[in-house]
Structure 1
Amino acid sequence: MWKKTFHTVSLILLLLIASPFMVTGESTVEVMALSGTTGLSLVKLLEEQPTIYPGVTFNYTVLKSPDQISAKIISGEADIAAVPTNLASILYNRGIPLQLAAITNWGVMYVVGSASTISSWQDLKGQEIGVTGKGSTPDLLFRYFLTANGIDPEEDVTIRYYASPAELTQLVIADKVRLATLPEPWVTEALSRNLSLTVLLDYQQTWQQLEQRSDSYPQSALVVKTQLAKENPAVVKAFLQAASDSNAWVVTQPSAAGLLAEKYLSISAPAATAAIPRCNLRLDEAYQVQAEIDYFLEKLYSFQPQSIGGKLPDEEFYLQK
């Protein structure tokens, strides 16, 4: 009798070790991505929904706004999410149990327009420029680049704010706004529909030159619910590998990826295909590039502390190897 009981207990323990989700009662992982370039690196997973880890189903949801995806993370509905890096810091500093697992793109911002006389940041002096999201990361970086080049954002230029990149893009296409800061894929959308437009300035190159960094700024990230990371690290590791493979596929197969971007992310296929080379897609696990993330968040904090949640996140913010 004792041997039979011991055998039964041993079998249960073996199953629990082999199937970590039995410990938590979970058999699904909810993956949520923000529409647009933030979710672009995951489109292969959205389409194929492969088996990433035995016995675990990964469900995918695409959300249209930062507010929507924030609500899902705060409520605990999202186990893994693709979000802007500074939003990850804001949520962490609010006490939301998450960890930064990886960076998925390294900047997608550009200044576009039809002004052929503009070839440097100094040339923006005296100009009127359209910008989206007052106080957002693109806005803060824009103001920083101006200041670093001797231009006072309050006195030397006129900044007009718009609600969304989509709205600003339409005005640029119609020649109602002469200069604008836009992210991909809206840059490509604008250039393809108004042939007088061109890319005038590159945020990413400017960042590297000013800061003397080997990489651009880490704009988008994957975050993981802390409980999932601690209780099921093998599942998280498997997902990060799958996400990395998807990211690499998008870079090497832009035409096919463009079709999926149109299907899942509300980006037109031609625009997505043409934009991918300028999206700086590369997945790096957070522990590998922590110095770059720290530097970026410190810079944002120096501009506007609330842009990262009022303080620099501590070491627990980063998912370690």
Structure 2
Amino acid sequence: MKKFLWLGFVLVFLLASCAPAATAAVTPAASETVVATTAAATVSETSVATAESTAAAGDAGKLVVYAPASTSSIPVILAVSQIPGAELTLYSNQSQANTLFLRGDVDILVTGLSVGVDMANNGAPVQMVDSFVSGLSYLVTYGRQVSSLADLKGQEIYIPFEGSPIEEVTAFFAQKEGLTYKTDLTPIYAAFDSSVPLLKQGKATAVVLPEPNVTLVEGQPNVFISVSYFDEWNRLTGTNEGYPQVGAFVNSAWAADHAADIAAFNTQLAAAITSVEADPAAAVTAVSSNYKLAPELLLKSLNRTRYNLVTGTALQDSIENYYQTIGKPLDEKFTASFFGSAQ
């Protein structure tokens, strides 16, 4: 329980401020998957209208979805807009979203993989219904471009907080490159609103950032976008689809009675991802009113984000393989936390 409360505190702290526009300071993030780009974003006009018409007839049957106010949620916005009676809120307060979800006010919570896993490990009755973001983070360096973490031997690397998903993958990369993490490569824990200014000043020479933070520092003097964690994972593991980072979670009791709603959400999400990948510019046009990032920056951020929708038994295989690969296998009790894995 202490671990869960600690995680909630960290998430609230790191998501406390918001990036107003392209020239603003980079927003701190709770993990590599939750970056607040607006404090009180709204969904697209189509889905708002749908939700309002449903609310007029009462809340019964309304599907309530919460997703992080980050560029990774663009397919979610498009997907929910196609589900009659659905309501989407883009949140920037992870702890508040967790509370609403756990008390039953939110049907589907889209969040970072580690957040949902921690909920389940702490006894919450949650099930994972999909994973859909497989590439979001980059190693950004100052002064020179590097090709791998091996080039940083003997140096420091800035990580958002200890035990974060970014740190888990960074430690795995270091080990695969023959480095001893925390000896050959020293982590410095700092929220993005602290590490980004240090990067710009040259006082931090290696920082791991998720989108849209990467886009917001691109073009700064002597700053290089050195290593895509998506590409590095594929190179070091011999795979080609990245690793699971963001997914959707539901209450297990709710899921038992709403299989059709979950299927509809995943079907529309699959269609939205296909649409985003086929025409990212059109996707940005459709959702840009939800973000305070300028459309051209939103498009750059979207183009650096990788999607891979996984559901059912393939989802369980994917998540278990990820944790096994990084040396942190899941407890067997987590098997019950995959929706549809045995269906």
Q: TM-score range by the shorter chain?
A: 0.7 to 0.9
**Pick from 139, 143, 162: which aligns with 2:171?**
143
Answer yes or no: is the 8 Å Cα contact 2:145–2:225 preserved in 1: no
Equivalents in 1 of 2:318, 2:270: separation in Å? Answer: 19
- Find out whether 1:230 has 2:250 as its counterpart: no
- For 2:135, what is the secondary structure of its paired residue? coil
What corresponds to 1:7 in structure 2? none
Matched, 1:202 2:228: yes
**Structure 2: distance between partners of 1:168 and 1:286:** 38
AA matched with 1:114: Y
Higher helix share: 1
Among 56, 60, 76, the residue aligned to 1:42: 76
Rate the CA distance shift 1:271–1:166 in 2: closer, same or farther, 3 A: farther
Equivalent runs, 1:73-222 vs 2, <5 Å: 73-116=101-144, 118-163=146-191, 165-192=192-219, 194=220, 196-222=222-248
Moved over 6 A (4+): none
Residue 166 of structure 1 contacts residue 186 of structure 1 at CA under 8 Å; is this kept in 2?
A: no
Pick closer, same or farther for the CA change 1:226–1:181 going to 2, 3 Å.
same
Provide the rounded CA distance (Å) in 1 between the counterparts of 2:160 and 2:285. 27
* TM-score for the superposition, normalised by structure 1: 0.78
Cα distance in 1, alignment partners of residues 119 and 150 from structure 2: 36
Q: Using the TM superposition, give the Cα deviation of residue 220 of structure 1 relative to its aligned residue in structure 2, in angstroms.
A: 0.6
Paired amino acid for 2:124: I
CA 1:271 to 1:133, structure 2 compared with 1: closer, same or farther past 3 Å?
Answer: farther
Sequence identity percentage: 22
Larger radius of gyration: 1
Deviation of 1:257 (Å): 3.3
Per-residue CA distance 1:286-314 (angstroms, 9 max, x = gap): 433432211113345x35x8xx7xx3553
* Matched-pair contact (CA < 8 Å) for 2:135–2:243: yes
2:322 aligned partner:
296
| 1:33 CA displacement | 0.5
SS of residue matched to 1:27: coil
2:339: which partner in 1?
Answer: 319
Q: 1:226 to 1:295 in 2, by over 3 A?
A: same
Distance across 1 between alignment mates of 2:283 and 2:198: 27
The question of whether the paired residues in 2 share the 8 Å contact of 1:297 and 1:312 is answered with no
Unaligned runs of 5+ residues in structure 1 are 1-24
For 2:61, the equivalent position in structure 1 comes to 27
Instruction: Name the CA distance, whole Å, in 2 between partners of 1:97 and 1:268.
Output: 39
**8 Å contact from structure 1 (residues 188, 274) kept in 2:** yes
Which residue does 1:245 correspond to in 2? 271
Q: Deviations over 1:98-153 (max 9, x none)?
A: 22111111121111123436222211012222221221000121122112212222
Give yes or no for contact 2:200–2:221 (8 Å, CA) kept in 1.
no
Classify 1:284/1:267 alpha carbon distance in 2 versus 1 (closer, same or farther; 3 Å): farther
Describe the SS at the equivalent of 1:242.
helix
Alignment length (residue pairs) = 283
Normalising by structure 2, report the TM-score: 0.74
Q: In structure 2, do the counterparts of structure 1 residues 117 and 315 end up closer, same or farther at CA, with 3 Å as the change threshold?
A: closer
Per the alignment, residue 283 of structure 1 pairs with 309
Equivalent-residue separation in structure 2 for 1:98 and 1:313 (angstroms): 12
Query: Partners in 2 of 1:267 and 1:280 — Cα distance?
Result: 19
Contact 1:35-1:63 within 8 A present in 2 as well = yes
Offset of residue 67 of structure 1? 2.1
